[in-house]
Each structure stands twice: as C-alpha cells, then as structure tokens.
Structure 1
Amino acid sequence: MLQIIKSYLNFLWNSKNEHGVHSPFVFNLVTNCFYDEKKYPEYSILKNYRNSLLQNKNTIEVTDFGAGSRVFKSNTRAINQIARNAGISKKRAELLFRITNYFQPERILEIGTSLGLATSALSLGKIKSKITTIEGCPNTLHVAQKQFEEFGFKNITTINTEFSSYLINYQLSIINYQLIYFDGNHSKEATLNYFELLLPTVTNETVWIFDDIHWSPAMEVAWEVIKKHPKVTVTIDTFQWGLVFFRFEQPKEHFVIRV
C-alpha cells in the first residue's frame, strides 16, 4: 500500500491535463475522449450490468493461475464481492467504452474476462467489433457468459484457458487486433511475456491498454521496459492504465495524464 501511495504522489507531481500536451494525436485523444463529458446512453447499460452482479450473492469457486497452467490459488467467493473488489470501476468502464468508441477497432482482444465488466464496455464501444476474451477460471467465465447472453452482447467470443497457453499456441500473426486490453496476470514476467507474444499482431492503428501498471514495483519495471521498446512510439500513463501506441509517424514520447 505504501508503494502505491508513493507512486500516486509521483504520478500527480508529473501529470498534466490537455494544456500540457503538444502532440496533436494525444491532444485530440485527451480532449475528445478522456475528457468527453457527454452522457452516453450506453452508460446506463454498464450501470445495469454492474448492478446485476452487485446484487448476486451466489458463491463460486475462483481459480487463479500462476506460470504456465499451474494453479496459483483457489477459493470460494461471492459474485457481488468479486464485482465490488476485483472488477473495473464505474469510471474506468465508462472511459474504456469511450476509448473503444473513439478508435472504433474491428478486432479486440481482452486478456482476463473475470465477470465481464470491462468486456461489456468494449462490446458497447463498438457493437460490430469482434471481441475475443480469455479467462482462466471457468466459473467466473460462466457468470460472464450468462451476463453477455442476458444483456444481448453478441459480438463476444469467450475462451476458457490459461493466457500464455492461448497466446503461444494460437496463430496470432494472422490476426491484427486494433485494441488489446491486458487485465490478466499482473506480474512483471507475465506482462512482458504477453507483450512479446502479441507484438506480431500490431499495426499502425493498434492501441494496447495495460491495467495496474503501478500495482507493484515489478509492474512498474515492466511498464518501463514496454515504454522503451523500439516498436513503441507513444505511451500514456493514467496511473491505473498504461496506453501503448505503435504509430510510425509519431515521435517517441511519453505522457502522464490525469483522467
């Protein structure tokens, strides 16, 4: 906890709003997306999705995975507690919706479905996109699948497998994901492994979103490695998320933005 507080104070000291941004690409993203105050009707659907989970007191066996397919830990938890403590926040779900709506990606990959709170924001951001979402725990994924069916999200394909196994075995180079949301194993080793495995899918229009980049000192190291990678041009630190772009026409630059 002390580490996160220290990181957040450092973030506040270095962060800017749109007035401190001189890149037209990032300025437009910040002003027209991050700071978009329009009340989208989709926000009500996101709220209803969240509330349906918060009202669900059923318990399920939750399994987390470590390296490979090794079970890291397993415990019984109430669905409403998972939604309250582990799910994406209301504010972040709305921002994820706006980012998806802003970039209009045709193909989306999500690493870590959980109960589908973030997935619902991705789906509503572009209802004609093709979303693949991967989850290691079959029980949380089953809850998410029921939610998707109930709310009529038809553009989502769910896969129950350990993340690295899928990324290693699938022919990723034949698919160009325009948006990837990384919300799975929040460790340095796993994050950098996913990063390297998915590099063959990038295009000039690709945007990657890494969750919890300041979760631990190791995750901050992983974020620094990603920022310095030669294929990466623009990165944006919003404290909770790190956004990564591969736009060849952009000079290499890092931004710290308050949202």
Structure 2
Amino acid sequence: MFRSISYIKFLLTSNNQHGIHSPFVYDYITKCLYVKQELKLPVTLKVLVKSLEYFKYESIFLVGDYKKSKEIIKKHCPKIAFVENNADVILSNINDLKNSNLDLSNLPNDCMLLVDEIHQHKDNVESWKNLKTEDNVRVTIDMFYCGAIFFRKEQVKEHFKIRI
C-alpha cells in the first residue's frame, strides 16, 4: 500500500525532460535514459546499463548481493570491470548502502551512485532524503524505482524527480 501511494505522489510531483534546466541532467535524460532500447530488464538495471554505455564508465562496485545483476551487467557491458575501490559507478540498494561503510565524502568527482528501492518503504524514503543532504552530493535524480546521485563539484546542488 505504501508503495502505491508513494508512486501516485511521485507522479504528481515529477516531470519529464521539459522541466529540466540543467544541461548535464537534460542530456543524461534525453540522450541516455529516454533512448529506446530493447532491454528486457528490471528498471534499475536498465538505467544502469544505459548509464554505463552513455558515460563510458569502465568500472563498477556492487554493494550487497547482486549475483544475478552481475551476470546481466557482464552480458550487456562485457568490458566493465568489477572493483571495490575507485569505481566509476556504485550500485546498491538503499538498505545495503546504509549498512555499508562506504564513505561518500571520498568518492571521485565523476562517480555515479545508483541506489535501488528508494521508495520501497517509508524508511527507504527517509534514507534517500538523508543521502540528498550529504555535503558532496550535487545532483540527485529520483526515478521512483531507483535514484542516481552525482558528485560533480562543478555542478550546483539540485534535486530532480524524473519519470522514465
């Protein structure tokens, strides 16, 4: 029930590319997320695979148990390296991220953190809100199913809700 109500609230407060005034986010949405591809994947993995290709990321760190996801990532992005330090992308669900000892303040400028299940439960929504307030977090994109966080120092702190 919580997720259904949360989704309705999300739909009422989110936009598509027409409400975006950040060139970085606009390009990411229109040239990456909205590009049609025949990917029969869960939404978060679809966002991940498209992002890996769009940003030409070379490495990923999976926080938590992502065995099936790892195989899917290998299939769609065979050149991606799975690492634990200095990753270009970090994939985690919100609970694993909370329980990890990942230091967000030391992540590289161009790193993307993709957080799964941000609207699954009320606690997850609160955790997502807390992540957005971290000092070095510059851009957050709430896509309901997942959220993307960017740490670009050159970017003004902005938060977006985007329908994908």
Shift of the alpha carbon at 1:113?
Answer: 3.8
Shift of the alpha carbon at 1:193?
Answer: 3.8
Partner of 1:93: 45
Partner of 1:103: 55
- Aligned equivalents of 2:79, 2:143: Cα separation in 1: 28
Shift of the alpha carbon at 1:115?
Answer: 4.4
Partner of 2:88: 178
- Aligned equivalents of 1:94, 1:197: Cα separation in 2: 24
Shift of the alpha carbon at 1:121?
Answer: 4.0
Identity within the alignment, %: 32
> CA 1:119–1:105 in 2, change beyond 3 Å: closer, same or farther?
same
1:14 equivalent to 2:9? Answer no
- Aligned equivalents of 2:24, 2:72: Cα separation in 1: 23
Cα contact 2:63–2:97 (8 A) shared by 1: no
- Aligned equivalents of 1:203, 1:3: Cα separation in 2: 35
For the pair shown, the structure with the greater C-alpha radius of gyration is: 1
Structure 1's unaligned 5+ residue stretches are 48-87, 133-171
- Aligned equivalents of 1:230, 1:92: Cα separation in 2: 25
Partner of 1:236: 141
Structure 2's unaligned 5+ residue stretches are none
Shift of the alpha carbon at 1:23?
Answer: 0.3
1:207 equivalent to 2:112? Answer yes
- Aligned equivalents of 1:124, 1:19: Cα separation in 2: 33
1:131 equivalent to 2:82? Answer yes
1:192 equivalent to 2:98? Answer yes
Number of residue equivalences? 164
- Aligned equivalents of 1:8, 1:257: Cα separation in 2: 12
Shift of the alpha carbon at 1:197?
Answer: 2.1
Partner of 1:217: 122
Partner of 1:3: 2
Residue identity in the other structure for 1:181:
L
Cα contact 1:113–1:119 (8 A) shared by 2: no
Shift of the alpha carbon at 1:210?
Answer: 0.6
Alignment root-mean-square deviation, CA: 2.1
1:108-164 Cα distance to aligned partner (Å, 9 max, x none): 111234441x223433454222114xxxxxxxxxxxxxxxxxxxxxxxxxxxxxxxx
The answer to which structure has the higher helix fraction is 1
Higher normalized contact order (CA 8 Å, seq sep 6+, divided by chain length): 2
Query: Counterpart of 1:25 in 2: which secondary structure?
Result: helix
